[in-house]
Amino acid sequence: MGSPRGLTVHIITKDSRNLYFQFASTSRISIKFNSDAIVEGVGFIGSVYNIDCTCNSGDHHLSEESPFLRLTTPGLLSGAPTYCPNLRCYWTIKFSTKYEIVLTISMLNLRSYMEEDVLTMTDRFGRIIFRANSDTSELRKILITSGKISLNFTSSPITGFPLLAIKSGFIIETTLLKKIVSRKKIAFTDTNFLIEISTKQFYEGLNVTYEYALTARPGNKVTIYFLTALNDVMNLNIYDGPNTTATILDPSILYANFTQDGYPLKIVSSEQHLLIQIRPNPYNINAKTALQSYGYRLATSCPPMVWSASTVLRTPAIRLSGSNCISIFHVNRDYDPSGLTTNASNLVTSGSDRQYPNLIYGLYVVMLYNSTQDNSVTYSWRKGSFATTILITPNESGIIMSEDYLPAYPLSSFKQQFSIELVAESHQMNGIRIEFLRSPGHGHGTFQFKQYNKLLEEITFPMSDGKLYSERCGNKLIIEYFSPGGTSNGLYARYRAGSLGCNSGSMALHSTTSIAVSVTVLFWLRF
């Protein structure tokens, strides 16, 4: 069998056992059949296909009048059993950013053993959003919001292969949809210059584009930190101005970032305004994300502002230096409203008071500071639990805070336990003192003073005589706290070794266990 003029010849003999598919080098072929005298032969059967290998490459514009487009490998819809060799197809789909398109890959069946057989999709910035050299029957949908997508398909120049290896190609259906936009304007002020945007704020559903028009104070710029991985989670359109007529910024580097420990990536506006459109991926419903935005000009002497942790439980020493600077520690966990704030009503410590709670509940610590010399801070976090144990020495004091103290959102009722243990030599065993620093509201519970596991006394709080402190002998204080939920309750108390001159058996002295910050607090520190 061959094409005219002998350009390509393929010989099939009686000994051939493999079924074979062969592309001719031209649009005309000739078939020659020779038979010998053996009467047992059964002959042959074959099929000839006229396959259109034209890609129809070029630009396509989708609009309300023409909202649908189907792209396939050449010849597929006309009955071709497989696609042609040596293809170099490309298509560009353009549309207004007032719309979005959904690409449905209803069939993807490529000759995956050939490395050159590849389907690639890129967005308007050249970022690869899909690339496949495989065959799959799984339906896949891809959402595009940036106004342009390019598709490229290449195939190997190999012209012959076994019939079992032929593949039909692909079918991609593209549908234009009007964006459903939920708009919010945020103007930063002297007291409100930090916000968080997270998955749990997308109350209107996953089929909505959430638009935030951010305005910094005059003379300042808007900065957005991206605290979680974005690829396959959301589509971002970021405009360097107050509306969508401004320059659209390239977010490609944000999608390429898969590291969620350390200093996060950021986008900074050139002027006072920045607009961001966030379109959750409705086909990845388990994904979560968090962004953090601020409209505040940090002094050039300030170190990087945000450190975010996901798998790292303890940060390295973070440098603190400069005037009017901010240090924010963030933990990538759940994305309920998380209490990112600089509101003075959420103040935990300030000025010369260097004490702060052993455990702070939430996802953020915000520290505002001035420092004339280099200092550093180390943050750590852990998952909260019902019971917390704190070891103290005779000269040590600390503060405990329940989970409902200054909550970011109303809580349900819960129970929490703290165990404070004094570790000291016998002549230093002077009991334990607990002092309320604020009323627990409707929160209530008990103090159990113990000598090891022996109960010495149990006291109910709030105390009927109105006292704000209790001090008893013993080396252990168990605090059982019950919260009715809501927003106006909370245990906030200072503990320390007592001064009662209690006598106890000898105990070995151990070093103090230090539990570092875990989140949602505003620090004001002066060095």
CB 213 within 8 A of CB 184: yes
Confidence of residue 133 (pLDDT cuts 50, 70, 90): confident
3-state secondary structure of 175: strand
Position 185 scores a pLDDT of 93
Domain 394-511, CATH: 2.60.120
Q: pLDDT for 278-311, tens place per residue?
A: 998 888 755 566 666 655 555 567 888 899 888 8
User: Amino acid identity of 48?
Assistant: V
| CA-closest candidate to residue 358, choices 346, 348, 368 | 348
Residue 114's pLDDT is what?
A: 79
Does the structure show a pLDDT above 90 at 91? yes
Higher pLDDT, 11 or 452: 452
Of 417, 428, 407, give the one whose Cα is nearest residue 482. 417
What does the DSSP assignment read for 455-467? EEEEEEES-TT--
The pLDDT value recorded for residue 127 is 92
Average pLDDT of the residues in 74-99: 91
pLDDT at 524: 30
Q: Give the three-state DSSP class for 164.
A: helix
In the numeric block, which tokens belong to residue 410? 């109303």
280: left (phi over 0), alpha (psi -120 to 50) or beta: beta
Instruction: Provide the mean pLDDT of the chain.
Output: 81
- 357 beta partners: 399
Tokens of 288: 């979560």
Whose tokens are 């070891």? That residue is 391
Residue with tokens 């959301």: 234
10 pLDDT band, cuts 50/70/90, is low
- pLDDT at position 394 is 87
Residue written as token pair 């649009």: 27
Determine the pLDDT at residue 205. Answer: 74
pLDDT at position 520 is: 30
116-125, 480-489, 518-527, range with the lowest pLDDT: 518-527
Residue range 58-178 forms a domain whose CATH class is: mainly beta
**pLDDT at residue 335 above 80?**
no
**% the chain with pLDDT above 90:** 32
CA angle, residues 153, 157, 159, in degrees to nearest 5 = 120
Domains 58-178 and 394-511 share a fold: yes
State the pTM of this model: 0.78
Q: What is the pLDDT at residue 385? A: 74
Q: pLDDT higher for 294 or 434? A: 434
Q: What tokens appear for 197 in the block?
A: 């945007």
By three-state DSSP, how is residue 39 classified? coil
| Contact by Cβ (8 Å): 452, 476 | yes
**How far is it, in rounded angstroms, from Cα 56 to Cα 388?**
68
Amino acid identity, residue 332?
A: N
pLDDT number for residue 18: 58
Q: Which of 100-104, 139-143, 300-304 has the highest mean pLDDT?
A: 100-104
Is the pLDDT confidence value at 527 over 60? no
- Order of strands across the sheet that contains 248-249: 181-187, 209-215, 273-280, 234-239, 248-249
Residue 487 pLDDT grade (very low, low, confident, very high; cuts 50, 70, 90): confident
Mean per-residue pLDDT, 49-70: 92
d(CA 474, CA 504) in angstroms, rounded, equals: 8
| pLDDT for residue 294 | 57
Distances 188 to 51, 242, 269, 418 between C-alpha atoms, Å: 62, 14, 14, 39
- pLDDT for 484 equals 93
Residue/partner pairs of 343-348 with CB below 8 Å, 24 or more apart: 343/191, 343/522, 344/522, 345/406, 346/406, 346/520, 346/521, 346/522, 347/522, 347/524, 348/401, 348/521, 348/522, 348/523
What are the Cα distances from residue 444, in Å, to 83, 238, 481?
Answer: 74, 49, 6
Query: Which letter does DSSP use for residue 234 in this model?
Result: E
pLDDT at residue 295, rounded to an integer:
58
334-343, 351-360, 399-408, 454-463: least confident range: 334-343
Structure tokens at 190: 């002297």
Do residues 318 and 327 lie in contact, with contact meaning Cβ atoms separated by under 8 Å?
yes
Instruction: Work out the average pLDDT over 451-474.
Output: 86
Strands of 88-94's sheet in order across: 58-61, 88-94, 148-154, 118-123, 128-132
Measured from the Cβ of residue 96, the count of other Cβ atoms closer than 10 Å reads 15
pLDDT band at residue 519 using 50, 70 and 90 as cut-offs: very low
Residue 14 — very low, low, confident or very high, per pLDDT cuts 50/70/90?
low
**pLDDT of the residue at 500:** 78
Contacts of 246 (CB under 8 A, 6+ apart): 239, 240, 273, 275
**Where are the alpha helices (H) located in 176-227, listed in sequence order?**
none
Q: What is the DSSP string of 246-309?
A: SPEE--HHHHT----SBSPEEEE-SSSEEEEEEEE-TT-TT---EEEEE-----TTS---EEEE
Using a pLDDT cut of 70, give the percent of the chain over it.
80
pLDDT in tens, 386-406: 788 889 888 888 888 888 887
CA distance linking residue 150 with residue 243, whole number of Å: 26
Chain mean position to CA 355: 33
Question: Which CATH number is 183-297 given?
Answer: 2.60.120.290
Judge whether residue 71 has pLDDT over 90: yes
What is the total residue count of the chain? 527
Chain centre to alpha carbon of residue 339: 18
Any idea where the domains of the chain sit in the sequence? 1-48, 58-178, 183-297, 299-384+516-527, 394-511
Using the predicted structure, report yes or no on whether residue 62 has a pLDDT greater than 90: yes
Q: Which of 70-84, 96-110, 311-325, 425-439 has the highest mean pLDDT?
A: 96-110
What is the C-alpha to C-alpha distance for residues 26 and 159, in angstroms, rounded to an integer?
12
Question: What is the rounded average pLDDT of the residues 349-365?
Answer: 70
pLDDT band at 210, cuts 50/70/90? very high
Is the confidence at residue 344, as pLDDT, over 50? yes
Using 50, 70 and 90 to split pLDDT, how confident is the model at 365?
confident
Provide the pLDDT confidence category of residue 370 given band limits of 50, 70 and 90.
confident
